[in-house]
Each structure stands twice: as C-alpha cells, then as structure tokens.
C-alpha cells in the first residue's frame, strides 16, 4: 500500500496581502477606506493572486492609534462598515478562494473600553483596577512614575489618574499611547475575555489572526526598572528590555493555540520583535504560534552579504522547531522598500529585485498594500496632515509612520486617484498618476505585472517546492540560491553586470541582456 504525504497547512507557503483598511479603498466618500471598499476590490486581489488577506484593526475604536486602541474587540467600528460588512467580505473572499485574517490586540485596550472606564471610577486595589497595571507613584507624594519605562511612542509609559475625590492618584501602564492602557494578563478575567473574542471571530468564519505585540502581554513581577532606557517603534532589546519577551508570554500563546486547534485550518501569526534566533523560535513551537513575523528583511540594506545574513538567520530561527519562516519587506510601521533602498529609479529597481528574492524563499510571504505598485514613502506630508500619535508624543520631533500609510492610487490622472470620491484622510502626491493600478495593469513591464507573474509562478511551479535552500557561489556583491525543486534565484547588488548561472530565465526584475544580469536586479532560472 502506497503512503501519501499529508498536505501541508495552507498558511505554510501562503502569500498574504496586508490591507491597511483606512488606506485601501473608500466606498462612502468620507475619505477613509472601509470593508465595502475592500470587498469591491476583491477582483483585483484575486487577479494579483494572493492566498489570504491580513486586515489591520477594524474593531470598534476611538482611533487614537489607527484602531490599535480597541474599545470593543467583538464589534466592527462603524467607520469601517460594521459587522455585516465584514460578514459579506468574508463570504465573497472565500468564494474567490481568498482566506481572511484580522488583527487582534491582546496587550492593551482603549482608554474608552468599558473596563478602563470602570477602573477609573473604582478605588485603588479594586477588582476593576486589577485588570490593568495600576500602581502607586514614587516619591513622598507619589508624583513620580512607578518605574523608568518609556512608551514606544515617546514619553513615559505611565500616566497618573485623578481619583474620584479629585485628588492626584495612581498611575497606569501604557507601553504605547496613554489611550492604550496595558491589560494585566495575570488576571483570569483578561484571558477569559480574550478567549471569548477568539471564538467570536472564528465562529463568524475568520481564518485566523495577526496578534499585535505578541512578545508583550506578560510583564515581569514587580515591574523593575530598565537598565538602559531606549524606546521607539522598532526598538527591541530582547532579554535586556523588561517590557517585552518575558517568559510568561509563552503560556499565553499555548492557551491561545489550544483554542485555535479546535478550528481546523485557523492560523495565529505573531508580531514578534525578537532578534535572538533561539528566543524567536520559542514563539513558533508546535504548541504556540503557527507563524511569527521575522522582520530581518524589512530592516536589511540592499547589500548581498546583509541579505544573505538575514535569510540565513530567518531560516535558522525556525529550523529547530519545524516552523515555517516568514518574509516581508515592509508594513504599516516600516518605511516602504522603494524609499528604504534609495528612492527614485534606483530604489524601485532594488525593491523589484528584492521582491523576487522574497518570493523565491520557502515559507509564507506578506505583501504590504501598495508594495505591488512600487509606491514610495511620502515623507513630505504637511505637518497639519500628520495623524500618527508619535508626532504629538515626541513633541513634533518624530514624524511617525504616516508616510507609509498614504491611500492607494487606483485610477485617473490626479488625486484622489479613485480611492475616494471625497478628500483622502492623508494626501496623495500628484506624481502617483503613473503608479495607479489602472496605469500599471496596461504595462507588461510594470511593478504590478511583475508581482502578478511572480505570485502566479510561485503558486504553480513545482520548482518552488521544499522547505530549504542551498547557496551557490556568486561574484562579490551578489547572491544565488537553489530550492530543492530546482528554482535558482540570483540577486545582483553590485554596480556591474554579472554572468547568470546555467538555466532558463523565467522571470527577471529588469531586462536581461544575453547571459548577464544588470545591477540592482534579480532573476529566476529553472
């Protein structure tokens, strides 16, 4: 009797498309993208060839941090269209063969969450305050924060409250904005409520979750001071930062995994800012997260040795636990790759090349909306247009992440490029007229056409099979690797053309002249 190998889970090699809903497509004319807008563009996403969506926060929120301040985790904010709009989106996406995953925020709530409102009204030591991290301040009058932790968004990670009698009172912890108080995961009520949230969305047909700040949640006993105070959206100090990566977080993920295991094919994807490979791998052990974001490529310069190092470390981080690696070049917190790689013509060429490298690798790939259009960051937004809380929290010294969140250009010669019939919530540059979906669909050599071709080949050809890769010898400033199925990927990050290895070129990020690959380019051979 012949044995057949089990079909691997869909998420192991899926291409996820990250939708930042405020900036994807607006169906109402209010200038903010919504769920009906996403549903209206599902045909485009099907044409692009992606396997799944990751939708950034859409639950009910005052929007102090773009929806990551959640007031009700089991409802959809009216800004995005409400529960019915999500149900209809899920149904149509599934009809088109596209999975739907959504953001959940387990580390904190909104300051307008009913729990926090109850905590403010309750006295110190009450059960209501025990759901959060309330502490007395230091100093004779309690006027100093309980410890020296900084907020990721700037300033202290503590805010003092005014008690019901009008007197200055306790402080509460918020690793992000003051409108995002951290919940206390040592409190059983917190877990029971989160379990209820998981089941609520899974029962509605959601295929899984991206868990925000998945290396957070658990806090060390006593909340000790940091030895070295550092902060920032991308700051992650592994063992030296008591705010994150505490050992207790792994039991939280085991409890989450036990719930997801009751729903076949559901996936949990963690946002894990941890550099150490062994510590990173702990998050994707068989009884914890299915996938975890590895951000090495999103932080790596366009240099062959650095790219190879990022790839080797990403593979090593999951190899010991049998998990799938993940790859991404950008997201809603990171400058777009075109800008990061130098901007202009050079930055675009390098972004196209790195996309081919990324999609040639084993594992799951996450494409941030607009990357397939070759969009750059918009770093000259007017100051009065900035919405990221980092801008205010830093005293107008750090512009924040708005530059990578500007709404997508769909069609037409001028803003808002079909994104809305009103005024877009962030202004789009007029130069994007050449980068619209409409314009690029008509160009065989456009970045959008390159993405479509790469995703189609990746999903259809057996040469992409296998969980590993082997490195080829390559000239200085270049790298080359081969997948077990037979695919060869070559990247030329040097300033001169280089000879290609033997094989037929099936796709290249730039025109290939004979047997050589130009600078700032990549190619696939079979």
Longest dimension (CA), the chain: 80
- DSSP H helices in 407-478: 437-441, 447-460
Residues 6+ apart with CB under 8 A from 478: 304, 490, 491, 492, 493, 494, 498
62: tokens are 């005052």
The length of the chain is 526
The vertex-432 CA angle with 429 and 435, nearest 5°, equals 160
Q: Mind telling me the catalytic residues?
A: 212, 271
Q: In sequence order, what DSSP letters do the residues of 170-236 get, joined into one string?
A: EEEE-SS-TTSPBB-TTSHHHHHHHHHHHHHHHHTT--EEEETTTT-S---TT-PPPSS----TT--
Residues 6+ apart with CB under 8 A from 117: none
CB 151 within 8 A of CB 136: no
Q: Report the candidate in 248, 331, 328, 261 with the shortest Cα–Cα distance to residue 289.
A: 261
457: tokens are 């080949």
The vertex-496 CA angle with 493 and 501, nearest 5°, equals 75
- DSSP H helices in 76-187: 82-95, 114-121
Coil/strand/helix, residue 436: coil
Question: What is the Cα–Cα distance from 448 to 374, expressed in whole angstroms?
Answer: 8
Beta bridge partners, 72, equal 60
The DSSP output letter for 460 is H
- Write a three-state SS string for 6-38: CCCCHHHHCEEEEECHHHCCCCCCCCCCCHHHH
Chain position carrying tokens 């999903």: 459
Q: Which string of b and e fits 386-424 if b means at least 16 CB within 10 Å?
A: bbbbbbbbbeeebbbbbbbbbbbbbeeeebbbbbbeeeb
The vertex-14 CA angle with 9 and 15, nearest 5°, equals 170
Residues 6+ apart with CB under 8 A from 114: 71
């Amino acid at each position: 009797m012949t044995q057949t190998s089990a079909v691997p889970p869909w998420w192991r090699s899926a291409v996820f498309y990250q939708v930042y809903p405020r900036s994807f497509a607006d169906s109402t004319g209010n200038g903010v993208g919504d769920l009906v807008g996403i549903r209206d563009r599902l045909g485009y996403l099907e044409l692009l060839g992606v396997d799944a969506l990751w939708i950034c926060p859409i639950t009910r929120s005052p929007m102090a941090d773009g929806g990551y301040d959640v007031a009700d985790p089991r409802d959809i904010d009216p800004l995005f269209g409400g529960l019915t709009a999500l149900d209809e989106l899920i149904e149509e996406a599934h009809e088109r063969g596209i999975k739907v995953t959504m953001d959940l925020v387990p580390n904190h709530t909104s300051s307008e969450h009913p729990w926090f409102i109850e905590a403010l009204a309750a006295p110190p030591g009450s059960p209501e305050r025990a759901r959060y991290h309330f502490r007395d301040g230091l100093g004779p009058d309690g006027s100093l924060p309980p410890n020296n932790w900084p907020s990721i968004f700037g300033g202290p990670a503590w805010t003092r409250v005014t008690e019901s009698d009008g007197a200055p009172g306790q402080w509460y912890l918020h690793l992000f904005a003051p409108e995002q108080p951290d919940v206390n995961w040592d409190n059983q009520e917190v877990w029971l409520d989160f379990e209820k949230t998981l089941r609520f969305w899974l029962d509605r047909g959601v295929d899984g979750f991206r868990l925000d700040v998945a290396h957070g949640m658990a806090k060390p006993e006593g909340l000790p001071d940091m030895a070295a105070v550092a902060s920032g959206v991308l700051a992650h100090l592994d063992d030296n930062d008591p705010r994150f990566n505490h050992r207790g977080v792994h039991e939280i993920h085991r409890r989450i995994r036990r719930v997801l295991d009751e729903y076949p094919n559901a996936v949990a994807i963690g946002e894990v800012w941890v550099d150490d490979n062994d510590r990173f791998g702990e998050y994707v052990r068989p009884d914890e997260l299915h996938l975890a974001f590895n951000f090495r490529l999103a932080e790596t310069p366009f240099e062959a040795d650095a790219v190879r190092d990022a790839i080797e470390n990403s593979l090593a981080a999951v190899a010991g636990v049998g998990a799938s690696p993940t790859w991404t070049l950008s997201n809603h917190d990171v400058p777009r790759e075109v800008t990061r790689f130098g901007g202009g013509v050079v930055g675009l060429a390098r972004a196209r090349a790195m996309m081919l490298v990324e999609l040639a690798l084993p594992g799951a790939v996450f494409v941030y909306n607009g990357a397939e259009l070759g969009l750059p960051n918009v770093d000259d937004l007017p100051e009065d247009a900035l919405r990221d809380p980092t801008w205010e929290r830093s005293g107008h010294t750090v512009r924040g992440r708005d530059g990578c969140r500007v709404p997508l250009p769909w069609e037409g010669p001028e803003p808002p490029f079909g994104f809305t019939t009103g005024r877009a919530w962030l202004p789009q540059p007029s130069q994007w007229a050449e980068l619209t979906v409409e314009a690029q669909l008509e160009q065989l050599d456009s970045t959008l056409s390159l993405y479509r071709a790469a995703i189609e080949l990746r999903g259809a050809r057996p040469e992409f099979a296998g969980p590993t890769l082997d490195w080829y010898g390559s000239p200085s400033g270049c790298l080359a690797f081969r997948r077990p199925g037979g695919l060869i990927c070559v990247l030329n990050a040097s300033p001169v053309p280089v000879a290609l290895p033997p094989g037929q070129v099936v796709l290249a990020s730039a025109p290939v002249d004979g047997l050589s690959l130009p600078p700032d380019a990549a190619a696939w051979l079979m």
